[in-house]
A and B are shown apart, each in its own frame.
Chain A
Amino acid sequence: MSDQSGPLGAPVAGAGSTSGPRGSAMLVEQSGLAQRQGQARGLFGGIGSVVRVTHGTISRYFTSVLVAMIVVAVGLTLLQHGFTLMGNQVKNALVLGAIYALVAIGYTMVYGIIELINFAHGDVFTAAGFFAVFLSSTLHLDSLATGSFGGLLLALAIVFPLSMLAAGLTGVLIEFVAYRRLRDSPRLAPLITAIGVSFLIEGILLVLEGPDNVPTSQASWITGTAVKIGGVNILWTDVFVVGMALLLMFALGEFVRRTRLGKAMRSTAQDRTAALLCGININRTISATFFIGSALAAAGAVIYSINYGDLKWNIGFHLGIIAFTAAVLGGIGNIVGAGVGGFIIGVIYVFGGSLFGGEWSEALIFAVLVLILTFRPVGLFGVEVTTRA
C-alpha cells in the first residue's frame, strides 16, 4: 500500500483529450485569477489576498490538517467515552472503510480510464448483494456455511466468484449499452445515461425486493470472537472483512502493475489515442476495467451482507456517494489512493457520527467532499495536473 505513484494515478492528466497535455495546472490558474481580482478592487483585493493566502496554506498542508483532525476526533472520543468505545469505533471504522474502499476502487478506475462518474456503480453493488443472497438461498449454502469450517470456505468459494462474475458482466453490459456509444458525445450525455442506469437498477430492485430492509441469512455465516483487546471484541467477521478487502486490493494492484491487460489499462488511461496507435484494443480494455470495478463492488456487497446482515434496494446510492468521496480524497484515478481514501472516509464517518450524532455523519462526509474540492481537488495522492479547468 506504500506505492505512491498509483497504477492509474498519473495517467489521468491528458486522458480523453486529444490535444495532448494541457499545461495549466488547476492550482496555478486559480491563483492567477485571484490575483487579477485582487488588483482590480481595493477592499475586495484585500479580502482576496487574505483568502488566497489562507487557501494556499490549507491546500499545502491539507493532508496534515486532515490527519490532525482525525487524531483529535479519536482523542476526543477516547476522553469522552473511554477506551472500549473508542476501540470499538476504530474497529467499526475499519470495517466500514474496507467496504468503501472496495467500492471506491470501481469509481476511480472507471473515472481514470474514461473520465466518467459511473453513477450506476453503487447500484451494481446493491444488485450484487441481492444476487449473492439469491445464490445462497437457491444453493442452500446457509446450512453448508454454518456447518463446518470447510463448508464455510466452500460456500465463500462459491458465492464470491459467482457474484463477482455476475456483477462484472453487468458492468460490462452497462458500459456496452449505455456508455460506449456516447464516448464522443458532449460530456453531459454519458453522465445523464449514467444516472439513468442508476435509476433503472434501483427501480428494478425496488420492484423485485420491495421498499423495506431485507434481512440476509449470511449474517450467521461467520461467528465468534477472534481477539479481545481490553474490552474490545474483535469478531472473526471483522477480521474477515478487512482481510478480504486488503487481499482483493492487493491482488488488483498486482494485476494492474504486472499483467499485460493491466499495462493496457494504464496506457489507455494515460492517452487513449496513443494507446490505440500502440495496438491496444481500447474497447476491450475499457470493458475489462468495468468488469474488474464491478466485480470488486460485488465482493464489497457480499462482505457487507455477511457483516451487516441486511440489504435495501437503495443502499448503494448513499454508499456510492460516500465511496466516490473516498475516491476523490485519494485522488481520482489513483487505485491505491481510493483504497486509503476508503479507510479514511470510514474513520471520518464513524467518529464524526460519535462526536456530532449519527444524523450528521453523511453531512460531514459531504462537507469533506466540498473541502477536498475547495482545497485539494487532486486528492491526497494525486499529482497536480489531474484536473484542468
Chain B
Amino acid sequence: MRDKLASFFRSDPGPGKRADGTTVYWIIASTASALLLMGWLLPWFVNDYSAGAGYSPQDALVSPPTGIGTFLIYILAVTMLVIVLSPLVEAIARSRGRPLGPRADRVRLIAALVGFALTVVVWFLVSIIQEEPLFGPFVSGTYTDSAVWLTMYAYALAALAYGARRWVVGRQTLAFSVAALPFGIFLPLMFHQAPVFLIWAAGSLAIYMLLALGLNVVVGFAGLLDLGYAAFFAIGAYACASFASPVHNIHLPLWVLIFLGAAIASMFGAVLGAPTLRLRGDYLAIVTLGFGEIIPDLATNNALNLTGGANGLSGIDQPHLGPFDFSLSPRWYYWSLLIVVIAVIVLLRNIERSRVGRAWVALREDEVAAAATGINTTTTKLLAFAIGASVSGFAGAFYGSLVTIVSPDDFSFSVSIAVLSIIVLGGIGNITGVILGSFILTFVIFWVLPNMNEWSATLSQTVHVPAIANINLSNYTYIIYGVALIMMMLLRPGGLLPSRARRIELESAVEGESLAAVQGVA
C-alpha cells in the first residue's frame, strides 16, 4: 500500500530513463514567476477599478501610471517577461527538434531586444489611446516609485526561474537561487499598496489554470472527452457556499472545504463515470455534456431548495489563516492559490509519470491492447475522471470563497468550453502547454474582449473613422471558441506546445495515413 502511494506521488520515469526533475522544476519556476508577474503587471493594463466591499481603500490604486513612468515600466515588464519565460523559448526550440545549445544566450538576447521593440510599440499605442504626451513629466506616484523595486524583483524572479531550473543540473547556481527565493516571494508583500484588483485578476487566472490542469488529466492523459467540466466546478463552489455561509449557518474553514469540495465532486464524477466509462469514450462526451447542462439548470430552478435559485448563494465566509485575514485583502487568496497551483502541478506531473499515468497513455493509444496487458480499463478511466473532477471541485471551493457569491450563470456550458479551448490551444496532455494556453485564453476572454468596445471607441475618435466604434467583439466569444477549437484541431492538433508523446503520435499518424492509403482504407 505504501509503495503504491509512493509510486503515485513520486515521479517514476520508467525503465531506462534518467530520473531528473529538470522539467518539472522549470515548469514550476516559470509558472510561479509568470503568475507573480501577472499579479504585478496587469494593473497597468486596466483603466478603471472600483474597490470591492470589504477591501481596505489603501489596497486600491485607482489611476493608471502616465508618461515616462509608463514607458519605463513597460520596458521592464516586457523585458523581464521575456527573460523569465525564456525557458519557454528553449522548450519551443527543443520541441521543434533543434535545441538551442550554445546559441541559447544569443537567442535570449534577441528575445529581450524583440521584447524591447514590442514595448516601444505598445507604449506608443497606449499613449495615443490615452491621449498623453509620449515623454510626459515623471509622475511621482506609486508605480514610478516602485519601478526600481520592480526591476530588482524581476531579476530576482528570473534568477529564481533559472536557479530552480538548474537546481539538479548544476549545483553552482544553487546558492544564487536560494538567495533569490525569499527575495522573490516576499518582495511584493513589502509594497503596502499592492494592486489588489489585479492580484484578484491573477487569482481568477489561477482558478482557470487549476481547471485546465484538471481537465488535462481527463482529456490529455486519459484521452476521454469531458464536456461538462463546469458542473464539477459548480459542485465544489456550491459545496463551499453551503458549508461556509449563513445560508445553513454552517461555518467550516476553507481549508477543510477545498478537500470536501474535491471529495464531493469526485464522488459525482465516479457516479457519473461508472456506468458510462464501461462503454466507448463518445458516450462519456454526451453524458458529461448533459450533466454540465443539468447542474446549472437544477441550481437555477432551486430544485432541492439548496441552491438559492437564479440569485445563487451569497455571503460566503472568507477564511483566516493565522494572522492573515483573507477578507481584508485578496492578496492572501493570490498567495494561497499560487501555492496550490504549484502543488497541483507537482502532483499531476508525478501522477503522469507514475504507473497510473502510463496506464492512461496505454489506454489512450489502444484500449484493447491495454486491457490485454492487464490494465483494468474501467477502473483506470474512472480514476482519471474522478481525479479530474476532484481538481475541478477543489478549484470550485476556492472560487466560491474568493468571489463570496455563487450563482448558476458562473457555471454555464461556455465555462467548460473555455477550459477545453485552453487545453486544446496550449497542447493536449502537456502541462506546460496547458499553462501557456490558460494565460493566452484568459487574457483574451477576460481582458481583451470586454475592453474591446472601449478601445474601438477611443481608436475611432483618435483616427476619425467612426465605423471602428461599431465593432463590438464581446458577442463573439462563442465564435472565437468555436473557431479556435476547429482550427487548432485541423491545423495544429498537438496545440501550441505539443506533448512529446502526442507529437510522436501525430508523426506516426502521418505515416499511418499513407499506409492506410495503400491498404485502401478511406
Residues of A within 8 A of B (CB): 18, 22, 26, 30, 33, 111, 115-117, 119, 177-178, 181-193, 195-204, 206-207, 272-273, 276-277, 282-283, 317-318, 321, 324-325, 328, 359-360, 362-363, 365-366, 369-370, 373-374, 377, 387-389
Cα separation A175 to B505 with both chains bound (whole Å): 24
Taking a contact as CB atoms under 8 Å apart, the answer to whether A26 and B286 are in contact is: no
Of B16-24, B165-173, B512-520, the one touching chain A? B512-520
Nearest Cβ on chain B to A97's Cβ, whole angstroms: 19
Contact partner, B493, options A26, A185, A197, Cβ 8 Å:
A185
Cα separation A196 to B280 with both chains bound (whole Å): 21
Taking a contact as CB atoms under 8 Å apart, the answer to whether B417 and A272 are in contact is: no
Cα separation A189 to B520 with both chains bound (whole Å): 22
Contact partner, A318, options B276, B293, B371, B483, Cβ 8 Å:
B293
- B256 sits at the interface (CB 8 A): no
Secondary structure class of chain B's binding surface, majority of residues: helix
Of B54-62, B125-133, B148-156, B470-478, the one touching chain A? B470-478
Q: A115-B282, A321-B289, A359-B303 are in contact. List 19 more A-B contacts (CB 8 A).
A: A26-B278, A184-B521, A186-B364, A186-B505, A188-B219, A189-B489, A192-B485, A196-B483, A196-B484, A196-B489, A197-B482, A199-B417, A203-B482, A272-B522, A273-B520, A362-B294, A366-B291, A366-B293, A389-B367
Taking a contact as CB atoms under 8 Å apart, the answer to whether B486 and A33 are in contact is: no
Contact partner, B475, options A195, A207, A321, Cβ 8 Å:
A207
Interfacial chain B residues near A377, Cβ < 8 Å: 278-279, 283
- B227 sits at the interface (CB 8 A): yes
Taking a contact as CB atoms under 8 Å apart, the answer to whether B489 and A369 are in contact is: no
Taking a contact as CB atoms under 8 Å apart, the answer to whether B283 and A373 are in contact is: yes
With a 10 A CB-CB cut-off, give which of B278, B293, B424, B509 has the most chain A CB atoms: B278
Interfacial chain A residues near B368, Cβ < 8 Å: 22
Nearest Cβ on chain B to A359's Cβ, whole angstroms: 4
Contact partner, B521, options A182, A191, A272, Cβ 8 Å:
A272
- B301 sits at the interface (CB 8 A): yes
- B378 sits at the interface (CB 8 A): yes
Beyond A33-B378, A362-B297, whether A370 also contacts B512 by CB under 8 A is no
Beyond A191-B285, A360-B303, A389-B367, whether A181 also contacts B477 by CB under 8 A is no
Taking a contact as CB atoms under 8 Å apart, the answer to whether B293 and A389 are in contact is: no
Nearest Cβ on chain A to B89's Cβ, whole angstroms: 28
Taking a contact as CB atoms under 8 Å apart, the answer to whether A206 and B278 are in contact is: no
Taking a contact as CB atoms under 8 Å apart, the answer to whether B520 and A374 are in contact is: no
- B225 sits at the interface (CB 8 A): yes
* Top 3 A-B residue pairs of the complex, sorted by shortest distance between their CB atoms: A203-B478, A196-B485, A200-B482
Instruction: Offer 27 A-B interface pairs, CB within 8 angstroms, sorted by A.
Output: A117-B286, A178-B486, A183-B522, A185-B493, A186-B364, A187-B223, A187-B281, A188-B223, A190-B489, A192-B489, A197-B482, A199-B417, A202-B478, A203-B479, A206-B478, A207-B475, A272-B521, A276-B522, A277-B520, A321-B289, A328-B283, A363-B297, A366-B293, A366-B294, A374-B275, A388-B280, A389-B278
Contact partner, B420, options A177, A192, A204, Cβ 8 Å:
A192
Taking a contact as CB atoms under 8 Å apart, the answer to whether A185 and B509 are in contact is: yes
- B490 sits at the interface (CB 8 A): yes
